[in-house]
Structure 1
Amino acid sequence: MTNRSMTDGSTTKRSTRAPATGRRSPRALLTALLGCVLPLVSALLLAVAPPASAATLTEVTSFGSNPSNLRMHLYVPDSAGARPAVLVAVHYCTGSGPAFYSGTEFASLADRYGFIVVYPSATRSGNCFDVSSPQALKRDGGSDPVGIRSMVSYVQQRYGSDPGRVYVTGASSGAMMTNVLLGNYPDVFKAGAAFMGVPHSCFATTDGSGWNSACANGTVDRTPQQWGDLVRAAYPGYSGARPRMQVWHGTEDATLRYPNFNEEIDQWTDVLGVSRTPASTDSPQSGWTRTRYGNSGAQAPVEAISVQGVGHTLPTAGMASRAIAFFGLDSTTPTDPDPGTDPTPGSCRVGYAVSAWNTGLTATITLTNTGSTPLTGWSLAFTLPAGQTITSGWGANYSPGSGAVTATGLAYNSTVAPGATVQIGFQATHSGNTGKPAAFTVGGSACSTG
């Protein structure tokens, strides 16, 4: 499942031998003059020209839990400001993070719009991502999705990125991983764009094989609810907002065949609770058919683009910018593509008490609903000070154990009535810093403290 391009070039040599004479030709005199003048001109241009971009692709070698030993490359553009958005860009089989960086337009779009790009690299045979094992298909089950989630947490801790603006995209194996990540971590990712993928759990196997021929050939046909149930089973009990989805597929794809395109639509319209009947259909470019589900806006719950006569070669030029627009990242001003689903600002208050000793501490957290409507399926987000790592907890599920943490209520306390309070807490190790998180949010809305 590769996605490569190749260019050819040729060079014509031209003779530079001087005329056979003792006198210097006019061309030789001009060359000598330029040899004196050009260094001075170059020096002047360097003095007045703006500095070149300092942003480079860098490898991060220690970023948290990484059960399958993925590699992480990171691109932080010079234009990244305070609380930047994050895009995880996942490569195809036989590829790598650096190859996806150089072979797609996401880094140049990051330069323009100021978001950070994470490029994971698979390390197993064939450099395909694990989208088939039982461990990969459930939240925090192990394997590649856990490592990618850790990469996001690292960026949030290291660069103060916006936890409410995290997105994922990928091609082929990376598109399949996009589907998996949206199902496993709906509280982490706001939206995804899958180029030539298959639905979450379509590639599932139980024999240790990483390849599912029936799914690849497009012969796995389930009802929308059956597909939706597979996503919901990846994170049982989750009742919060679900990420939006954009899917792309070429009609002549012979690797992950075209019927998977419609199965993805079935899955995500069911997960997001919108009609399978398109709200709009258009052709934004020759050969493209775009359908939108749930509404006809640029950031509809589900958007699908079918590309006529094209095989397993996406994304091609211009498609990355369409994905960025679907995410709402084509602006330097943050947007909320899903208004109305978060709690009312100021509808929560958090109390936080720490009892510390030597290299350990206990934190007790009190969450109060100060609004007029219940907090249902709540998730409390906060960033632990550097050096603190959660070892155990109560009253909530905590993920990950360090950095940008999300505490999600359990079945018995997942709904907090107006005026009611729930108490949760955890035990952690520390390396000297026993401080408190600077801020707390529920569903992306800030809570008061005290």
Structure 2
Amino acid sequence: MKCLSILSAAALAALGSAQAPTKVNDFNLGPTKLGMYVYVPSNLKKPAPIVVAIHHCQGSATGYASETKYQPLANSKGFIIIYPNSRSSGGCFDVSSTATLTHNGGGDSQTVANMVKYAIDKYGGDAEKVFVTGTSSGAMMTQVMAGAYPDVFKAASAYSGVPDGCFFVQGATATQDPPGWSNSCANGQTTKTAQQWGDATRGYFPGYNGTRPRMLIWHGTADTTLRYPNYQESLKQWSNVLGLTTSKTASNTPQSGYTQTIYGEGDSNTAQLVGYSAQGVGHTVPVHESNDLAFFGI
């Protein structure tokens, strides 16, 4: 799979600024061979919220921990962080196989969901306050997690990813190395109606009628790795999944050059679906940790 990683200046500035997460050696729930790393603040009050933070291609759990600023915020706000670690040769997660796209299908997504179960039991995580975020390959997995495991996650924030199921590759398996790659999706050429995208997501967990995760979508207009049309396709998908038909936009928020779109009722922290289009930003949009946590309600 191709490289999906260009670090922002802010991410580079954060390198080495936080304690490394701990590898969980006794996590063996699988079904795929992802590594599990955790960061648990010493002063944690239980039950505590859980944030799953998923790295990009040619990245790692420890690398993503140092590139982002979730750990200092975990210390002050009191939440557990899970960092899944890909063991593929390119450091990418599988988002192409039916196994991963499907609830309890046996792919990487089920392994990540099992990490959440482990953290709830082992560290006192709150099953009612579980969230997921990621960059590039991790953002692709973030949308897959929201689609396949709406019973686990309450909200998600995806940085420069693609819609749930967009990267499906016929015949791809959850264990192939490297994972499957869809040029059509990466190049922004995979387009569907909102209904078709929504039907795809609903089809990955047949019979589920419960609450769906709230979604926060970030994308740069100058992205040449996972091209910008994936932003609108993602918003089409989740607006349908969440049953939202109206939207409003605001310029230069949360910073200059960003256009915010809020679907349905609520504001940037309470709405069901919020999108941020970053003018002139390539791959990837810098992580906005405080915005994520505000959206998560942490």
TM-score normalised by the chain length of structure 1:
0.60
Contact 1:280 1:296 in 2 (8 A): no
Q: Which residue of 2 aligns with 1:301?
A: 272
Q: Which residue of 2 aligns with 1:266?
A: 236
Secondary structure of the 1:169 match is strand
Q: Does 1:3 align with 2:3?
A: no
Q: Which residue of 1 aligns with 2:82?
A: 118
Q: Does 1:237 align with 2:207?
A: yes
Contact 2:278 2:285 in 1 (8 A): no
State which structure, 1 or 2, has the greater radius of gyration over its C-alpha atoms: 1
Contact 1:281 1:289 in 2 (8 A): yes
Paired with 2:222 and 2:249, the residues of 1 have a C-alpha distance of 24
Contact 1:287 1:307 in 2 (8 A): yes
Q: Which residue of 1 aligns with 2:135?
A: 171
| Residue type of the alignment partner of 1:83 | P
Structure 1 residues 292 and 5 mapped into 2: Cα distance closer, same or farther (>3 Å)? closer
Contact 2:20 2:66 in 1 (8 A): no
Q: Does 1:185 align with 2:144?
A: no
Which stretches of structure 1, 4 residues or longer, exceed 6 Å deviation after superposition?
Answer: none
Percent identity over the alignment is 46
Q: Which residue of 2 aligns with 1:321?
A: 290
| Residue type of the alignment partner of 2:86 | A
Query: 1:42-64 CA deviation, whole Å, 9 max, x = no partner?
Result: xxxxxxxxxxxx97521002224
Q: Does 1:76 align with 2:47?
A: no
Paired with 2:296 and 2:251, the residues of 1 have a C-alpha distance of 19
Secondary structure of the 2:99 match is coil
- Tell me how large the CA RMSD over aligned residues is: 1.7
Q: Which residue of 2 aligns with 1:142?
A: 106
- How many Å apart are 1:311 and its aligned residue? 0.2
The structure, 1 or 2, with the larger RCO (C-alpha pairs under 8 Å, 6+ apart) is 2
Q: Does 1:206 align with 2:170?
A: yes
Paired with 2:19 and 2:291, the residues of 1 have a C-alpha distance of 24
Paired with 1:160 and 1:84, the residues of 2 have a C-alpha distance of 6
Contact 1:55 1:76 in 2 (8 A): no
Contact 1:85 1:162 in 2 (8 A): yes
Residue number among 281, 288, 291 corresponding to 2:250 in the alignment: 281
Q: Which residue of 2 aligns with 1:153?
A: 117
Q: Unaligned 5+ residue runs, structure 2?
A: 173-178
- How many Å apart are 1:320 and its aligned residue? 1.4
Secondary structure of the 2:153 match is coil
Paired with 1:169 and 1:83, the residues of 2 have a C-alpha distance of 20
Secondary structure of the 1:125 match is coil
- How many Å apart are 1:315 and its aligned residue? 2.2
Paired with 1:312 and 1:5, the residues of 2 have a C-alpha distance of 9
Contact 1:84 1:161 in 2 (8 A): yes
Secondary structure of the 1:315 match is coil
- How many Å apart are 1:159 and its aligned residue? 1.7
- How many Å apart are 1:68 and its aligned residue? 1.9
Q: Does 1:220 align with 2:223?
A: no
Contact 1:279 1:295 in 2 (8 A): no
| Residue type of the alignment partner of 1:247 | I
* Aligned residue pairs, count: 281
| Residue type of the alignment partner of 1:312 | H
